[in-house]
Amino acid sequence: MTGNDGGYPRTKVLEAKGPRLLGDVFLGFTAATGGASATFEVDNLIVKQRCCEVTDIVSIAQQADVDLVTQDVVTLDGSGSSGADGGSFTYNWSVVSGNAALVAPGTGPTPQLKINGAGAVRVRLGVTDGACADGASAEMTFNVFCDDPAEVAVVAGAPAGTTAVNAAVVLDSAGSSAGTGDAKPFTRAWAIDSGPGVIDGASDGATVSVKGTAPGTVVVRLTIDDGKCGNAASATASFCVDDADTAVIVPPQGVQGVGTTVTVGSAAGSRSWSIVSGPGAIVGSASGNTVQVIGNAVGDLVVGLAVDDGVCNNSNSAQATISFGVTATWVRCDANGDKQLDISDPIFSLALQFSGGEAAGCPAALDCNGDGDVDISDPIFDLNFQFTGGPAPPAPYPACENFAGCTANCP
């Protein structure tokens, strides 16, 4: 409220000068008029405070460079900071850059800083006493390095040959370390890197048991880490899982006729047939379940078979011998092939030659007199032999002999 009392206003404005306006203010004043004086009370006293240009003071102690191998937490020091008037004030710490973080909110003079990696770390401290806009801030940078030898990972024990499906393989980390000449403790982490395998049991021990669950190559990885500097090491080992391939040849039994084609069978698998030795050749495909071979002369023909399922290096092979020779197929003069020599044979021969009779099962056997031709003389020779005491057919009659192109029809 503003008014007059004897010519003096009842509102008075006082301005405080100097660093701060501190202490009590008397709500009144004395005025002199013409040699007389009077004391008046003031209803309203407005005090204006003028801030000075003096700012708060911030100070950060320089942090020495840090080796992560021996230290990963440091204590920052801003205790040298102060407010402009020497009173209480607040701290505000923050990380400007670098791989680090404050352990707790940085509101005190000496907060802790967790360092997570090598490189330069820069921090900022701001201080203020809350009076005037004269807060201050400063930054400090220090370097972080990691003087740690690289870890060493070694995996031993992988079998060189083929491992059966579901068979256990034990791998060993012997020779692994926190680094050459470094005795620090370290951790192991085993894992299946690729392939059809599982870890059977713990995966963090000095050894690990692994099983291959199906045919294929199993790759196992070991990671060694001492928790320092982020320079963990890893190594792998592999082994092949497969049940052994099997090669089985099923050859025909007995002596096979020279010039005849025979079929050879096998067991399952990817097959590759070959002639190992002997007078013969493969007829047609050499990669099927069966193969056809022909004997070109009298002798033993050795047939080879290689079986490989394409998994691991465990193919298998086998050989079989097939004998080729002169084989008996038919009895000479048995024209109709009924395995008997009687009147029906010359009749069959005459019908075939002169009246379009049934074809012979073994035309060469109709050469009853053995002169190399089949004609009218053969049934006549046969009739004379059977009924008038004529000469017998040539040897090996009455045994079977080998007639080319004739199937076996011996009695």
**What would the pLDDT profile of 316-375 be if each residue is shown by its tens digit?**
899 999 988 767 789 999 999 999 999 999 999 999 999 999 999 999 999 999 999 999
What is the CATH topology of the domain spanning 328-411?
A: Type 1 dockerin domain (1.10.1330)
Predicted local confidence at residue 211, as pLDDT: 96
pLDDT score at 229: 83
The CA-based diameter of the chain, rounded to the nearest angstrom, is: 197
Peptide bond into 196 cis (omega under 30): no
**Mean pLDDT value across the chain:** 84
Contact 196, 241 (CB under 8 A): yes
Residue 379 has a pLDDT of 96
- Rounded distance between C-alpha atoms, residue 169 and residue 315, angstroms: 21
Contact, 303 vs 324, CB < 8 A? no
Contacts of 345 (CB under 8 A, 6+ apart): 333, 334, 335, 336, 368, 379, 382
Three-state DSSP class for residue 380: helix
Band of residue 134 on the pLDDT scale cut at 50, 70, 90: low
Report the pLDDT value the prediction gives residue 402, as an integer from 0 to 100.
84
d(CA 61, CA 47): 41
Residues 6+ apart with CB under 8 A from 165: 212, 213, 214, 215, 241, 242, 243
Q: Are both 66-145 and 328-411 of the same fold?
A: no
Per-residue pLDDT, 86 = 63
Residue 293 has pLDDT above 60, yes or no: yes
Q: In this structure, how many other beta carbons lie within 10 angstroms of the beta carbon of residue 60?
A: 19
pLDDT tens string 154-179 = 999 999 889 999 999 999 999 999 99
Which helix (H) or strand (E) segment is 350 a member of? helix 344-354
* Mean pLDDT of the 268-282 span: 86
Helix, strand, coil tally for the chain in percent (to 5)? 5, 40, 55
Collect all residues with Cβ–Cβ distance below 8 Å to 144 and sequence separation of at least 6. 65, 66, 68, 98, 99, 100, 115, 117, 118, 119, 120, 121
Whether the Cβ atoms of residue 240 and residue 225 lie closer than 8 Å to each other: no
pLDDT digits (tens, 9 = 90+) for 104-123: 888 899 999 999 888 999 99
Is 66-145 a domain of CATH 2.60.40.10? Answer: yes
The residue among 191, 116, 118, 200 whose CA lies nearest residue 153 is 191
* Mean pLDDT lowest among 5-9, 58-62, 383-387: 5-9
Report whether 215 contacts 312 (CB < 8 A).
yes
Among the ranges given (81-95, 153-167, 259-273), the one the predictor scored with the smallest mean pLDDT? 259-273
- Could you tell me the CATH superfamily of domain 249-324? Immunoglobulins (2.60.40.10)
Question: What pLDDT sits at residue 54?
Answer: 57
Q: What is the mean pLDDT of residues 255-266?
A: 76
Backbone angles phi and psi of 256, in degrees to 5: -100, 145
Q: Which residue has the higher pLDDT, 262 or 196?
A: 196
Q: What is the rounded distance in angstroms from the CA atom of residue 92 to the CA atom of residue 127?
A: 6
Kindly tell me the number of DSSP H helices and DSSP E strands found in the chain.
2, 28
Question: Residue 64's pLDDT is what?
Answer: 95
Question: Measured between alpha carbons, how far is 110 from 129 in angstroms, rounded to an integer?
Answer: 18
Query: Per-residue pLDDT for 244 more than 70?
Result: yes
- d(C-alpha 41, C-alpha 12), whole Å: 10
User: Residue 40 — very low, low, confident or very high, per pLDDT cuts 50/70/90?
Assistant: very low
Structure tokens at 277: 């030795």
Write out the two tokens for 38. 């009077």
Q: Centre a 10 Å sphere on the Cβ of residue 315 and count the other Cβ atoms it contains.
A: 17
Kindly tell me if the per-residue pLDDT of 15 is higher than 70.
no
Beta carbons within 10 angstroms of residue 173's beta carbon? 21
Higher pLDDT, 15 or 250: 250
Query: Domains of the chain: which residue ranges?
Result: 4-49, 66-145, 162-241, 249-324, 328-411
162-241, what's its fold? Answer: Immunoglobulin-like (2.60.40)
**The model's pTM:** 0.53
How many whole angstroms separate alpha carbon 271 and alpha carbon 174? Answer: 42
Is 294's pLDDT higher than 50?
yes
What phi and psi, each to the nearest 5 degrees, are found at residue 344? Answer: -70, -25
Amino acid at residue number 400: C
Percent of the chain residues past pLDDT 90, beyond the cut:
54
